[in-house]
Amino acid sequence: MSWQRRIDSALEQRRATDSFRVRLANQQGSARYLVQDGTRYLNFSSNDYLGVSQHAEVITAWQQGAEIYGVGSGGSGHVTGYNEAHQQFEQQLAAWLGFPRALLFISGFAANQAVIAALAEKTDSIIADKLSHASLLEAAMHSPAQLRRFAHNDVASLQTLLAQQTDGEQLVITEGVFSMDGDAAPLAEIAQATRYVGGLLMVDDAHGIGVIGSEGRGSCYQQQVQPDILVVTFGKAFGVSGAAVLCSEPMANYLLQFARHLIYSTAMPPAQAYALSAALDVVRRNESRRVQLQANIARFRKGAEQLPLKLMASQTAIQPLIVGENQIAVNLAATLREQGFWLTAIRPPTVPAGTARLRVTLTASHTSDDIDSLLEALYDATR
């Protein structure tokens, strides 16, 4: 088969199964609103949980950072791209989260790929929660280690896999808050089971950092668990982009030797690191935004109980409404969009077959009226 035929047939298959993905360019997106083709929608699809992406102090810091350092880092951190702005932010993060070291990465995807690729060897086992993010599962699949998945949030299932004979080391991977279900992992039990066999625990807290716990320190801090590797990302509650790995001194030094995504890639612009320091400050200080977000979550859940859709047991900003069939989920999302609400229908294979859903994300920027009007539109659309 030629390249052309291979590509055409892959595209055809996507179209035939209604799973062809397209991107839509918006004119403006924020935690609360999205402007698309000149129409303004209430945005219930944003990860900007605290509205930090539009925060004046963060915008100003990015501008100031650009004036001080220019707009680019000029190279890999291992050559000349590592700047005092990166270093300061790494130190702030490490101190804030109670780890010896923090290393910045360009994205959460890159951080997860880098860590797994740097650690995993042929005889090792990577034991990951079944619902882990694609960036984790893909990295594990592409690694020379064997990937095994435990049932979602099921410690007994994890223990069964950990008990199996292995020649190499065991790396256990889970998340603080799961991106499609919004539920939280039992981190203390998972940490205990992992320690018991001498394994390494890696927790990706992309959706927990900034939102959960005192000062938004995240799921691990809240559950009083210190994983060997904590990945936090800055594209969600921090409102910017980028990521960091928090770890011990030797682990940081190891990653600096072997994490190819760090070594062979241009470092994040120093101005961005400078803006991230400001974002950290905003996140820490703004307990009121976290309180508002919790109030919005409670309001949504109370109203959504009246809907003929299954509400998941999520206490986080991610509030999926299970619809079941793909087409119904897509139609509901389209109906709501006509009425000015932007939310996404999530279908298999992103979620298990038969659990197509409307993925509602709430932010601190939504008002009570925003949430009530969404609920009303959902009642009407599902009646």
Q: What SS3 state is found at 378?
A: helix
| Contact pick of 114, 139, 206, 232 for ligand PLP (by CB under 6 A) | 206
Catalytic one among 46, 73, 132, 207? 207
Q: 373 an active-site residue?
A: no
Separation between Cα atoms, residue 147 and residue 160, nearest integer Å: 14
Work out how close the CB of 162 gets to ligand PLP at its nearest, in angstroms, rounded to a whole number.
Answer: 22
Does the footprint of ligand PLP cover residue 153 (CB under 6 A)?
Answer: no
Residue (of 93, 79, 109) closest to 247 by Cα position: 93
CB closer to ligand PLP, 109 vs 341? 109
**Token pair in block for residue 71:** 């707009």
Residue (of 219, 255, 254, 215) closest to 105 by Cα position: 255
Specify whether the CB–CB gap between 190 and 201 falls below 8 A. yes
Q: 331 an active-site residue?
A: no
Does the footprint of ligand PLP cover residue 207 (CB under 6 A)?
Answer: yes
Work out how close the CB of 46 gets to ligand PLP at its nearest, in angstroms, rounded to a whole number.
Answer: 12
Residue (of 227, 232, 169, 177) closest to 202 by Cα position: 227
Angle between helices 187-196 and 155-163 (to 10 degrees): 10
Tell me if the bond preceding 308 is cis, omega within 30° of 0. Answer: no
Work out how close the CB of 229 gets to ligand PLP at its nearest, in angstroms, rounded to a whole number.
Answer: 13
Does the footprint of ligand PLP cover residue 229 (CB under 6 A)?
Answer: no
Separation between Cα atoms, residue 137 and residue 134, nearest integer Å: 5
**Token pair in block for residue 238:** 């921090």
Residue number with the smallest Cβ distance to ligand PLP: 108
**Token pair in block for residue 297:** 């979550």
Does the footprint of ligand PLP cover residue 73 (CB under 6 A)?
Answer: no
Does the footprint of ligand PLP cover residue 235 (CB under 6 A)?
Answer: yes
CB closer to ligand PLP, 317 vs 358? 317
CB closer to ligand PLP, 222 vs 331? 222
As to burial, measured by CB atoms within 10 angstroms (0-12 exposed, 13-18 middle, 19+ buried), residue 27 is: exposed
CB closer to ligand PLP, 166 vs 219? 219
Work out how close the CB of 327 gets to ligand PLP at its nearest, in angstroms, rounded to a whole number.
Answer: 26
Specify whether the CB–CB gap between 206 and 236 falls below 8 A. yes
Mode of pairing for the β-strands spanning 28-29 and 33-36: antiparallel
Q: 296 an active-site residue?
A: no
Does the footprint of ligand PLP cover residue 370 (CB under 6 A)?
Answer: no
Residue position matching structure tokens 């009226």: 369
Catalytic one among 133, 135, 183, 286? 133
Q: 175 an active-site residue?
A: yes
Separation between Cα atoms, residue 361 and residue 237, nearest integer Å: 12
Q: 236 an active-site residue?
A: yes
Does the footprint of ligand PLP cover residue 204 (CB under 6 A)?
Answer: yes
Task: Identify residues 98-137 at the interface with ligand PLP (CB under 6 A).
Answer: 107-109, 112, 133, 135
Residue ranges binding ligand PLP (CB under 6 A): 107-109, 112, 133, 135, 175, 179, 204, 206-207, 233, 235, 241, 243
Positions annotated as catalytic residues are 47, 133, 175, 179, 204, 207, 236
